[in-house]
Amino acid sequence: QVQLVESGGGLVQPGGSLRLSCVASGSIFSIYAMVWYRQAPGKQRELVAGITSGGSTNYADSVKGRFTISRDNAKNTVYLQMNSLKPEDTAVYYCNVAASSSYYTSPYAYWGQGTQVTVSS
């Protein structure tokens, strides 16, 4: 089993910044893609940004140029640096990590518990 713990959410004014972290722990052999999703009230969960094990990244059009995803493989951690935040960025942010627990097992996608980000004046 793999556990994910997110942190870094909170209340910030429009134009401000936050940095989210997601640490993976447990029975980890290898970590593949690491992805941030978000879900606003009354809306479907949407992909925000993803990063592969090789460091390739992709972003939702709504956050390009404002958010940066990165990872520290030695720490099994993925980050989301969020700048120039807007009220429409308000949501619960979830990390999703594809990981395998041994050489013989297929990767499985694990979810974190979510961290609230509120952008408001």
Between CA 13 and CA 79 the distance in angstroms is 20
Q: Side chain identity at 79, as an amino acid letter?
A: Y
- Tell whether the torsion through CA atoms of 57, 64, 19 and 6 is positive or negative: negative
- The C-alpha angle with vertex 17 and arms to 12 and 22, in degrees rounded to 5, equals 100
Residue range 5-27: mean pLDDT, rounded: 97
Report yes or no: 5 and 112 within 8 Å, Cβ to Cβ: yes
pLDDT on residue 1: 85
Assess whether pLDDT exceeds 90 at residue 20: yes
pLDDT on residue 41: 92
Between CA 113 and CA 37 the distance in angstroms is 12
pLDDT on residue 13: 98
pLDDT on residue 28: 92
Of the candidates 2, 14, 13, the residue with the CA atom closest to the CA atom of residue 77:
2
Digit-coded pLDDT (tens) for 21-80? 999 999 999 999 999 999 999 999 999 999 999 999 999 999 999 999 999 999 999 999
